[in-house]
A and B are shown apart, each in its own frame.
Chain A
Amino acid sequence: MISVRNLTLYFNQHCILNNLSFDIQKNEIIAIIGASGAGKSSLLRCLNLLEKPQQGRIRIGNQEIDLAHVKRNEIVQFRQQSAMVFQQFNLFQQKNALENVMEGLVVVKKYSPQQAKAIALEKLVEVGLSGRVYHYPKQLSGGQQQRVAIARALAMNPKVLLFDEPTSALDPELVGEVLMSIQQAAKAGNTMILVSHEMQFVYEIATRVLFLDQGQIIEDGTPEQVFHCPVHPRTKVFLSRYFATLSSDYQI
C-alpha cells in the first residue's frame, strides 16, 4: 500500500534520513521509535511532503511520486493521500472544533457544507467530543484539542494516518483520552504510522515496530521481537534505558 524507496533527506549538508526503503501493507499499524534526533518526525513529515526530501520515491495507494522532480500540484494531490496529527495539535485558532474538522472536507474535498457538517459531527462524536463542537481551540484542553485534530484527520478518510508524537505535549492526565481515540482509529481498520515515546502503548497497539537510528531503520519487527529480542546493540541500549526508568513491578 505504501512503498518508500531510497528516501534521502538533508538539512544543510546534514543527513537526516539516509537512503531509507520500506513497505507498509494495508491495515498495518506501524510504530516508529528511536532517540530524539533520530529522524522519526522527519520521516513522517516526508510522507506528507511537509519536508521535501532530496531524492527517493514514495508511493501511497495508486499515486507515486519521484521526489527529485516533484511538481507543486503533485505535492498538493499527494498530501491528500495521508492525514497528519501533530505534536502541537495545530488546530485552526479562528475556527471552532466543528469548523476545524469541516475545513478540509469543504475546501479540499469540495463537499457541500451540509455533507461536511454531517461527517464532521460523526467524527467528533467518535472521539467523544459531541458536547464541545462549537468550542474554539483555546477553550479546549490539550487532550480535547488533540482529539479534534484526530477527528480532523479521520474525516479526510486518508489512506494512511500519520501521528507525530501525539501525546508528547500533553500532561499525563490527558494522555489517556488521546491514546483511546488513537486506539479506536486503529480498531476501525485504519492504516497508521505512529511516532511515539509511549512504549507501553506502542507495544499494545502496533503490529510492527521500526527502530530508527541516525536516519536508518536498524530494527524492523513485531513489538514482541523488537522489545524482547532486539538484534541491534543500539536498540538494546535504548530499550534497556527505557526499562530502567520503569518501576520493578511494571513490565511489558
Chain B
Amino acid sequence: MPNIVDFPLIIRLIPTLLAYLPMTLFITFFSMIFGVLIGLIIALIKLNQIRILSPMATVFVSFIRGTPLLVQLYLSFYGIPVMLRYINYFYDTDYNVNNIPSMLFVLIAFSFNEAAYNSETIRAALQSVNKGQIEAAQSLGMTYRQVLQRIIIPEAFIVALPNFGNTLIGLLKGTSLAFVCSVVEMTARGKILAGFHYRYFEVYISLALIYWALTIIIEQLIKMAEKRLTIPDNDQIPNYRRGKLL
C-alpha cells in the first residue's frame, strides 16, 4: 500500500508543535486579561452614558464587530508603525519603527477584538444584578466604586462566566492568525514543519487534535469554576466557602 497518509508522523509532530504551545497560551492569556479589562471599561462607559466617550465606545464596538479579525491584525501591524512615524514627525522624536516587537501588534489586535465582544457580555451581566442589592449597599454608605467592586462585579462575573468561556475558546483558535504579524506560534510553526516534511495534511491533523484537546480542557475548567462559584440550593455549605474570611 502506498504511503498516502503518514500516520506515525501525525503523532511524531505533536511534541514538536507543543513546543510552541506556550506562545499560543501567552497570546491567549494576555489578550483575554486585557480584553476583559478594556471590555469592562467600555461597558461602564456605556452604562453610565458618559458624554463623548459613550458614542465613541459604540462606534469602536461596531467597527470591531463589523470587520474581520484578520483585517484587524493587518491594521495593527501596518497602522501602529504609521502612527509612530507621525509621532516622530510632529513631536520631533526618534522612535525606531523596526524596534517594535511583533508580539505587540498581535496583543493589541486581539485585546481590542476581545474587548469589543466582551463589553456587550459584561454590560448585560452588570445589568443583571438585582437593583435591590445595589440600593442596600448604597444605603450602608458605600460609594459607587465600592458597590461596583464588592457587590456588582462579583455577581456579574458569575453571570458572564459561561460567555467568557466561549470567547476564550474563540480567542485560542483565533491566535492561529498571529502569523500574519510574523509571530510564530503553534499554527505558524505547523506551516513551517509542513513545508519541511512536504506533509501538509498530517501537520494540520496534529494541529486540529491539539486545539481540540485544549478546547476540551478550557471547557472543563470553566465548568469547574462555575460549579465552585455557584451557591448550592440545598442546605450544604461547601468547605471552601466556610473558610472564607475566617
Contacts and interface: CB of A to CB of B under 8 A. Distances in A.
Given A80-B140, A108-B146, A134-B237, 20 more contacts: A76-B142, A79-B138, A79-B141, A84-B139, A90-B130, A90-B133, A91-B133, A92-B137, A94-B154, A96-B237, A98-B245, A107-B140, A107-B150, A108-B141, A113-B245, A117-B245, A117-B246, A136-B241, A138-B231, A156-B140
Contacts, number: 90
Contacts of A103: 137, 140, 150
B231 A104 contact: no
Nearest to A108: B141
Contacts of B155: 93-94
B144 to A, nearest CB: 8
Given A83-B140, A94-B155, A107-B142, A50 B231 contact: no
A138 B155 CA distance: 14
13 contacts: A48-B139, A76-B141, A76-B142, A76-B143, A79-B141, A89-B132, A90-B132, A92-B151, A96-B237, A98-B245, A107-B140, A149-B136, A152-B140
B98 interface: no
Interface of B: 130, 132-133, 135-143, 146, 150-151, 154-155, 158, 231-235, 237, 241-242, 244-246
Contacts of B132: 86, 88-90
Interface string A130-158: 00001110110000000001001000100
Contact of B235 (A77, A89, A135, A152): A135
Contact of B140 (A99, A108, A113): A108
Contacts of A76: 141-143
A102 interface: yes
A82 B138 CA distance: 11
B135 A50 contact: yes
A104 B150 CA distance: 11
B139 A50 contact: yes
Given A86-B132, A93-B155, A94-B155, A139 B140 contact: no
User: What 9 pairs across the A-B complex have the smallest Cβ distances?
Assistant: A80-B141, A104-B140, A90-B132, A90-B136, A84-B139, A108-B141, A79-B141, A136-B231, A48-B139
A108 B141 CA distance: 6
B146 A107 contact: yes
Contacts of B130: 90, 93
A139 B143 contact: no
B246 A139 contact: no
Nearest to A102: B245
B134 to A, nearest CB: 9
A219 to B, nearest CB: 28
Contact of B233 (A48, A77, A93, A138): A138
B244 A94 contact: no
A154 B158 CA distance: 30
B68 to A, nearest CB: 38
B136 A99 contact: no
Contact of B245 (A84, A88, A92, A99): A99
Nearest to A73: B143
Interface in A102-116: 102-104, 107-108, 113
Contacts of B142: 76, 104, 107-108
B139 A139 contact: no
A229 B246 CA distance: 55
B85 to A, nearest CB: 44
